[in-house]
Structure formats: structure tokens, C-alpha cells
Structure 1
Amino acid sequence: MKSLINIVIVAISLVLVSACSSVYDKHIQWQTVQPEHFPVISGIGHAPISLQKSTNKTQRMLMAIKASKIAAYVELAEQVYGQQVNSKTTMADMLIENQALAASVQGLIRGAKVVKSYPVGDTYTTELRLDFKDVYEIYLASVNRKEIKAVQYF
């Protein structure tokens, strides 16, 4: 009877040891995965020239150019990351006393290209284009994102 118990214990031990060894003795090969479709989005920013805070006409133009480019980047960020909207309403005696609304955008845009930058009357306009194929290539250059290609057990 004791020998039967010893044989069962040894058999269970061998099964447990062999099951654990396959978890720790393996080699995984990785491969990168390319998306099937790369969208292209655009953003347009506008900035008034005469309202820029400078007495010099050339400096106002340069400030408007920069402001319109930043506004175009904000529009791209809104499309890529979305816009967070916060609202607060205060009521008293079932009447609205105060209403506040705030919107914000936060994100990082890489790979956008200026398509056009031009004045229209007293406004400066900048058009940007963001090709997600370029974003993907920038991403691959900076991060090694991979998926399992093959697993070999020893």
C-alpha cells in the first residue's frame, strides 16, 4: 500500500514538474504589424493680423503666421484625440443662476506637414495635413511594437 502511495506521489510530482517546465523553456519570435489603411486628415488655422500685439507690421504678420499654425495643430489634435468638455450649472429655486462651459484638447502631433500658408485679407491661414502612414513610420522608428510570430518550446 505504501509503495502504491509513493508511486502516485512520484507520478503527480512528475506531471507537475513537466507542466511547469514548458512555461519557462520557450523562445518567442516577434514581428511588427502594419495597419491595412492609413487615413489622411487636415487642419486649418486662422489668425487675425491687425490684432497681433506689435507696432511693427512685419512682426504682426509673423505672429499671425505662428498663431494660425498653432490653431491648425489644435484642430488636428481635436480630430486625433478628441475634445474634453466640462460643464457646470448652478440652480437656485429651480432657476438657472450660473452656467459655465470649458473645452480642452491635449495631445502630441507628429508628422504633420504644412500644405499652404497664406494671407486672406486681414487674416492669416495655415493648412496642415497629417498622413497616418508618416505617423506609423515615426512610431516604428521610436518604439519596437511587435506581436508574436512563433513560439518554440524546449
Structure 2
Amino acid sequence: MTIDHLSRRSAIATLGIGAAAMTINEASAQTPAAAPAAVPAFAGNHQVKPLRFNPARLHGLSERLITSHHENNYAGSVKALNMIETRLAAALADTDLPPVVYGGLKREELHRTGSVVLHESISTGSAATARQPVPSATRWARRSARSTAGKPTSAVPG
């Protein structure tokens, strides 16, 4: 069918189909997209781990100090990290969120993650020293002096 042989009826039908197709296309573009799937990294399900050693056996620091630090500083960092991660998950879904706000949340997440990792690694390392007390400096010095007593020292070339 050429333009010379186009009837009024077929022209109106063609225009109607085109208009309907454009309307459907615009309507689908305006519908909100489905919410993004939850990101597992922002689940916010970290748990406070118990101390792996008896704080009373740790030499040089009081049991009360260690317990209080664990309950306040470490547990507080875990709770804050969980809260920040849930806010980050919500921020990913918000298309109007300014990048500077998202950056602030990521910075806080990094800070809290570092605190949690540090506290967990220190409590693991302290467990070993809690089982075997570290000798004091004077005992170490006496032991070193006895082990080298009577042995000739090498002369340092001048």
C-alpha cells in the first residue's frame, strides 16, 4: 500500500495503533522500578562475641576494665555497625540520596568495621597471654643475665 492508495480508514487505524504503542511505552517508562534486591553485605546481622578468656586472669588490667570495655566499646561498635548497614541498604534503594550522604555512611561503616575487627583480634590474642602470664621485665632481665653469665662476649670491631 503506497501513500497514493491510502484510505482514510487505514490511515486512522495506523495512527491509532501508533498512538497506542507510544502511550504504552510512556506508561511503562513511568512505572517505578522494582525495589533492588537486598544486598547481603548490608544485612546488619553481626553478633557480639563473648570474651574468649577469663578477664580476671589477665595480668596488668583489671577484670572490671576489660569487661566494661567489652560491653560498652565492642558491643557498641557491633550495634552501630548493624545500624549503619541497614541504613546503607536503605540508601541504595533511595535514588534521590545525595552521594555525600552515602559517602558519610560508608565512612562510618569503615570506622565501625575496623573497631569490631580490632576488638575481635585483640580478644583472640589476649586469650593466649591470659593462659600464660608474660614474665615481668625484671624476671626476663635476670633470666637473660643468668643465661649469658660466664660466656665471653664478642668484641665489636672498632
TM-score normalised to structure 2 length: 0.27
TM-score normalised to structure 1 length: 0.28
Higher strand content, 1 or 2: 1
Higher helix content, 1 or 2: 2
Higher relative contact order, chain-length normalized (CA < 8 Å, sep 6+): 1
Answer with 1 or 2: which has the greater Rg. 2
